[in-house]
Structure 1
């Protein structure tokens, strides 16, 4: 590739050379579906095409655009609402210690406590409540199964701590 490509033929050759590796790299490192990887690559190539005459280093420009579109995609994924109706009964009852009354957290208060958790922790708790497996939760959230298990453990610990603090205040 020349130092300063200018012609549409140069762009077409660049596109043919870089398209498949770009999509494969997005799928591998971005853990994306082929459809999402192709969408991101298409956006990045479209921006590259618009600026083709001014670009001095096409690979660098392309990867800059790919990175920006990937970050946009990740941000958009975090905005997906959790498909769970919090108005359903979501109570937590722990086993009583000898001689102590049962500890019970009001369902409404528990919903408020869950909402105070980070969005990723909320998602895995609620997906677990819906009966999703770790693999299904990983697919939905885009995290690994190990990360899902860590989030579940962390969320449960945070909820227990929050509930204990409330009990101590009373």
Structure 2
């Protein structure tokens, strides 16, 4: 069974070394947020191995090595993302939602959670009534009833919605 680290001993170690370690990693990365993240992760890993680290002597070199490696890994991931972006170009903008889709989402929000769930499973995911019943824990008849009531409510909600000149859904 693993012994938990002595909280006071670890706290004292952290208090006396963290500020200097952040400064060291910051000097290497030039990014304070990355330095702080790497140092915090290194201390978290040290906490998990505290008994072994203190048995082996001064834990600071181990924590510093881990923090620097984490910072370098973060830097490499960032560099690789930038290279990939230059190679492939920026991510294209997502298309705007159509007025019909906005209206449908707004109408779905007006349904009860049970009705909304069966509509999404049956009509948007194309699951048969029997599968919707299994997934929701309801009987086939209950699913059919919920679908019927939801369709009726959606019909009313969606006929009440008009779009303005910019294609934005409005209640009319």
Query: TM-score, normalized by length of structure 1?
Result: 0.43
- The structure that has the greater radius of gyration is 2
More helix by share: 2
